[in-house]
A = this chain, B = another copy of it.
Amino acid sequence: MEQSKRRRLEKAGWRVGSSADFLELSGVEEVLVDMKLTLGMRLRKTREQHNLTQNDLAKRMGSSQSRVAKMEAGDPGVSLDLLVQGLLAAGATRREIASALTTRKKAASA
């Protein structure tokens, strides 16, 4: 139990022993990775819908073709920032980006 939560609850008269809350909290890293994969796939889709090559998009962003390829491939060394920049530069709306964030990635099972 965290300091502040304990403090507040105790002040409110609660007896706070051990607790199993925050159960839903696991897997921050995994969610982040999944988000990046999802956004990468969405980037490819958006780019193709707008008939841009990776090189086209790269120039728009002031980046390079190889980096765009890595974004779309879900390369671990690509930041969310870069993905969002890419999506915006490719013509995706803020709403589309948000929507993609919640859309679970289509697993490419072996």
Where the two chains meet, the residues of A that have a C-beta atom closer than 8 Å to any C-beta of B are 2-5, 8-9, 22, 24-25, 28, 31-32, 35, 50-53, 55-56, 60-61, 79-81, 84-85, 88-89, 91, 94-95, 97-99, 101-102
Contacts and interface: CB of A to CB of B under 8 A. Distances in A.
Copies in the complex: 2
Contact of A28 (B79, B89, B98, B99): B89
B22 A94 contact: no
A29 to B, nearest CB: 8
Contact of A79 (B8, B22, B80): B80
Given A32-B84, A79-B81, 19 more contacts: A2-B51, A2-B52, A2-B56, A3-B53, A4-B51, A4-B56, A5-B52, A9-B51, A24-B91, A25-B60, A28-B85, A28-B89, A32-B85, A80-B81, A94-B102, A95-B102, A97-B101, A98-B102, A101-B101
